[in-house]
Structure 1
Amino acid sequence: MANFTLPPLPYAHDALEPYIDATTMQIHHGKHHQAYTDGLNKALGSLDAKFQSMDVVDILKNIDTVPDTARGAVNFHGGGYNNHALFWNNMKKGGGGEPSGELADAIKKAFGSFADFKTKFSQDSTTLQGSGWGWLAKNASGGVQFVTMPNQTSVWTRWSKEKLTPLLGLDVWEHAYYLKYQNKRADYVAAWWNVVNWDEVAKRFKA
Structure 2
Amino acid sequence: MKKRTFLKTGLFFGVATATSSFLDACKTAGKNPESVTAYPVIPPPKLRRTTPFELPKLPYAKEALEPHIDKMTMEIHHDRHHQGYVNKLNDAVKNTVYADYELYDIVARVTTSDEDRNIRNNAGGHWNHSFFWETMSPDGGGAPGGELATAISKQFGSFDELKNLFGTAAKGVFGSGWAWLCVGKDKGLFVSSTPNQDNPLMLGVVQKTGTP
TM-score bin, normalised by smaller chain: 0.7 to 0.9
The code of the aligned residue for 2:105 comes to: D
Q: 1:2 Cα deviation (Å)?
A: 6.2
CA contact 2:110–2:204 (8 Å) conserved in 1: no
| Pair 1:143-2:192 in alignment | no
- Aligned partner of 2:107 among 50, 56, 60: 60
After superposition, the C-alpha distances for 1:152-191 in whole angstroms (9 at most, x for unaligned) are 012110379755111xxxxxxxxxxxxxxxxxxxxxxxxx
Alignment partner, residue 87 of structure 2: 38
Alignment map for 1:1-207 (pairs within 5 Å): 3-48=52-97, 51-64=98-111, 68=113, 70-158=115-203, 163-166=209-212
CA contact 2:166–2:179 (8 Å) conserved in 1: yes
Structure 2 runs not aligned, ≥5 long: 1-49
Structure with greater helix percent: 1
The code of the aligned residue for 2:85 comes to: Y
Instruction: State the TM-score, normalized to the length of structure 2.
Output: 0.71
CA contact 1:37–1:77 (8 Å) conserved in 2: yes
The code of the aligned residue for 1:59 comes to: I
CA contact 1:2–1:52 (8 Å) conserved in 2: no
Q: 1:106 Cα deviation (Å)?
A: 1.3
Aligned equivalents of 2:166, 2:127: Cα separation in 1: 20
Q: 1:109 Cα deviation (Å)?
A: 1.4
- Look up the SS of the partner of 2:203 in the other structure: helix
Say if 1:98 and 1:131 are closer, same or farther in 2 by CA, change over 3 A: same
- Look up the SS of the partner of 2:151 in the other structure: helix
The code of the aligned residue for 2:83 comes to: Q
CA contact 1:107–1:113 (8 Å) conserved in 2: yes
Q: 1:127 Cα deviation (Å)?
A: 2.6
- Look up the SS of the partner of 1:134 in the other structure: strand
Q: Which has the higher contact order (CA 8 A, sep 6+)?
A: 2
Aligned equivalents of 1:76, 1:103: Cα separation in 2: 31
Aligned equivalents of 2:160, 2:144: Cα separation in 1: 12
Identity %: 39
RMSD, aligned α-carbons: 1.9
Aligned equivalents of 1:126, 1:20: Cα separation in 2: 18
The code of the aligned residue for 1:95 comes to: G
CA contact 1:159–1:165 (8 Å) conserved in 2: no
Aligned equivalents of 2:201, 2:164: Cα separation in 1: 24
